Amino acid sequence: MTGRLNSAQPYAIGLFRIVVGLLFACHGANSLFGAFGGETPDTGAWPAWYAAVIELVGGSLVLLGLGTRAAAFISSGAMAYAYFKVHQPQALWPIENSGEGAAMYCWAMFLLIFTGSGAFGLDRLFTKRSTAQSNSATDQTPVAA
């Protein structure tokens, strides 16, 4: 049983990354463009506009699995900032201060920093290409004169 679950781990991480990235990008589109009935902040307004850009771009990159670790790092930090500066001063617990979303996104993105994109990500496609190119370059032995 453990062997089967371990062999499926990259696929589970890939699906997790896709769902988290999609939801995060939708949250950014909601905040930035008013999609799905949201209100838009003024362009350049601190911190709402910058958070929305990070959510949209970071969520899209995580969804695609492109630069997953870097995008997740920045997104996790943005959500930590959102929790501690916006939600936590209102009350101690996330359930009391409406900070569950920020806390969950922060920890989900934090997990992706360490797991990477998993299966189905563009990161893996580029890694395979660069590995194949470096292997072909190292297979060539120089001719000594």
**Identity of the residue numbered 80:** A
Question: What is the C-alpha separation between 51 and 10, in angstroms, rounded?
Answer: 29
Residue 52 falls within a domain, yes or no? yes
Q: Given a cut of 80, is residue 38 above it in pLDDT?
A: no
In a domain, 145, yes or no: no
Specify whether the CB–CB gap between 10 and 119 falls below 8 A: yes
CA dihedral of 40, 46, 50, 52, whole degrees rounded to 10: -30
Indicate whether 18 pLDDT > 90.
yes
Residue 120 in contact with residue 14, Cβ under 8 Å?
Answer: yes
Query: Sorting pLDDT into bands at 50, 70 and 90, what band is 89?
Result: very high
Most confident of 33-42, 43-52, 98-107: 98-107
- 135 falls within a domain: no
Specify if 1 maps to a domain. no
Over pLDDT 90: what percentage of the chain?
A: 66
Print the domain residue range for 102.
Answer: 8-128
Asked whether residue 63 carries a pLDDT value surpassing 70, the answer given is: yes
Look at residue 73 and tell me if it is in a domain. yes
Q: Write down the pLDDT at residue 131.
A: 66
- Determine the pLDDT at residue 134: 65
In a domain, 2, yes or no: no
Q: Which two tokens stand for residue 89?
A: 């001063």
pLDDT of 93-117, one tens digit each? Answer: 999 999 999 999 999 999 999 999 9
CA of 48: how far to CAs of 52, 54, 103, 145, in Å?
6, 10, 17, 65
CB distance 30 to 131 below 8 Å: no
The pLDDT assigned to 23 comes to: 97
Q: What is the pLDDT of residue 40?
A: 84
Sequential DSSP letters for 23-38 = HHHHHHHHHHH-GGGP
Residue 137 resides in a domain:
no
The total number of structural domains in the chain stands at: 1
**Sequence-ordered list of residues with C-beta below 8 angstroms from that of 75, at least 6 positions apart, any chain:** 24, 54, 55, 58, 59, 62, 105, 109
Q: What is the per-residue pLDDT across 124-135, written as a single tens digit (0 to 9) for each? A: 887 776 666 666
Whether residue 70 has pLDDT greater than 60:
yes
Which of 62, 88, 86, 84 has its CA nearest to residue 74?
A: 62
Q: Confirm whether 140 is domain-assigned.
A: no
